């Protein structure tokens, strides 16, 4: 049997309740509106007080709903920002990895240019400079310590001339050829350099150890105490090395011997300056010429 087309709400209790609540709400809302209208017309201060009460009640609720709305709207934006930042971070890492070799080359060139500028300044100041040359090799893994310069006798390099850089003394020329020279480094066991302590001028002898360090021994009979940090420079004694060139700095002492680190590390250098000996070589003494013998007179 088909249901009737016209069914009144009274047949459903839920519909009846809904209709009743709707009427009550409509009537209540109308009464509240009328009261508020009359109150705002005839008693504005009371209306302002009522409005303040409603504002105190509704403001926290409105703030919470606004915060929730902003949070919900910000979720897609946050997800998009995360993926965007993640992709940008990956791109930056790739770029850094690609630029790393170029950065390393630039840093190497910067260090080399800085050393060359210091070397040029030293050459301009030093009046006894012979030539600035490249250190093309050094024997850092052997007990004998030598280096090779790409300048030789054709460039004015002579045996015994000191070799240095802006940081300090490196050694002295041991052998020469037309375009190369062999340098005996300070750290070689055969190297001996007269030095003096900077703080009091006390004379000493610096000799190589063959392990990259230098032994400092007193040059006088009096016992002298060494302290870590004592700096030594050339004294000029012997006429080979000019005075006041940094040589080494003490790292520790063992009795009357100090272990020192050289001021200039040849393994970390690219260029060096060859200087003339501090005192010029003595002029060769003239050889006496044979006196002419008297010619016998011809017989008449």
Residue 168 sits in a domain of what CATH number? 2.40.10.340
Judge if 142 and 263 occupy the same domain.
Answer: yes
* pLDDT at residue number 162: 92
- Tell me the average pLDDT across 221-247: 85
CA pair distance 45, 7, nearest whole angstrom: 51
Who has greater pLDDT, 180 or 122? 180
For 85-140, the pLDDT digits (tens) are 777 777 877 777 777 777 677 766 666 666 666 656 555 555 677 888 888 877 66
User: Do 148 and 230 sit in the same domain of this protein?
Assistant: yes
51 and 106 belong to one structural domain: yes
6 inside domain: no
> Are residues 137 and 212 located together in one domain of the fold?
yes
Burial grade of 195 (CB within 10 A; 0-12, 13-18, 19 or more): buried
Same domain, 84 and 194: no
Does 162 reside within a domain? yes
How confident is residue 2, by pLDDT bands cut at 50, 70 and 90? low
Per-residue pLDDT at 214:
92
The answer to whether residues 120 and 158 belong to one domain is: no
Domain range holding 222?
129-275
**Higher-scoring residue by pLDDT: 75, 157:** 157
Q: Is 87 in the same domain as 144? A: no
Domain assignment of residue 24, yes or no = no
Q: Is residue 269 part of a domain?
A: yes
Counted domains in the chain: 2
Buried b (16+ CB within 10 A) or exposed e, 167-181: bbbbbbbbebeeebb
State whether 79 and 187 are in the same domain: no
What would the mean pLDDT of 225-244 be, rounded to a whole number?
88
More confident residue, 6 or 167: 167
pLDDT band at 300 (very low <50, low <70, confident <90, very high): very low
Q: Which residues pair with 164 in a beta bridge?
A: 169, 273
153 shares its domain with 252: yes
Same domain for 154 and 219?
Answer: yes
Residue 260 covered by a domain = yes
One-character DSSP codes across 35-77: HHHHHHHH-HHHHHHHHHHHHHHHHHHHHHHHHHHHHHHHHHH
Give yes or no for a contact between 274 and 173, defined as CB atoms under 8 angstroms apart.
Answer: yes
Q: What is the pTM of this model?
A: 0.56
Identify whether residues 87 and 120 lie together within a single domain: yes
Kindly state whether residues 117 and 134 are assigned to the same domain: no
């Amino acid at each position: 049997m088909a249901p009737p087309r016209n069914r009144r709400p009274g047949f459903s209790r839920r519909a009846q309740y809904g209709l009743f609540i709707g009427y009550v709400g409509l009537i209540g809302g109308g009464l509240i509106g009328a009261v508020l209208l009359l109150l705002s017309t005839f008693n504005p201060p009371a209306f302002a007080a009522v409005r303040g009460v409603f504002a105190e009640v509704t403001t926290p609720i409105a703030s919470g709903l606004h915060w929730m709305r902003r949070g919900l709207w910000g979720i897609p934006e946050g997800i998009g920002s995360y993926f965007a930042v993640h992709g940008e971070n990956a791109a930056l890492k790739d770029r850094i990895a690609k630029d790393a070799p170029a950065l390393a080359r630039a840093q190497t060139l910067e260090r080399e240019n800085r050393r060359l500028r210091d070397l040029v300044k030293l050459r301009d100041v030093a009046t006894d400079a012979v030539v600035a040359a490249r250190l093309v090799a050094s024997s850092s893994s052997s007990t004998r310590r030598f280096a090779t310069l790409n300048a030789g006798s054709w460039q004015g390099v002579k045996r015994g001339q000191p070799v240095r850089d802006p940081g300090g003394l490196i050694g002295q020329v041991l052998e020469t050829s037309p375009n190369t020279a062999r340098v005996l480094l300070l750290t070689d066991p055969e190297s001996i350099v007269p030095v003096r302590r900077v703080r009091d001028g006390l004379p000493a002898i610096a000799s190589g150890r063959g392990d990259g360090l230098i032994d400092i021994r007193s040059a006088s009979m009096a016992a002298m105490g060494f302290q870590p940090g004592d700096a030594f420079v050339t004294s000029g004694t012997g006429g080979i090395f000019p005075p006041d060139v940094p040589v080494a700095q003490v790292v520790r002492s063992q009795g009357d011997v100090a272990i020192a680190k050289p001021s200039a590390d040849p393994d970390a250098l690219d260029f060096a300056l060859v200087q003339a000996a501090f005192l010029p070589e003595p002029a060769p003494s003239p050889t006496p010429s044979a006196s002419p013998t008297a010619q016998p007179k011809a017989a008449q």
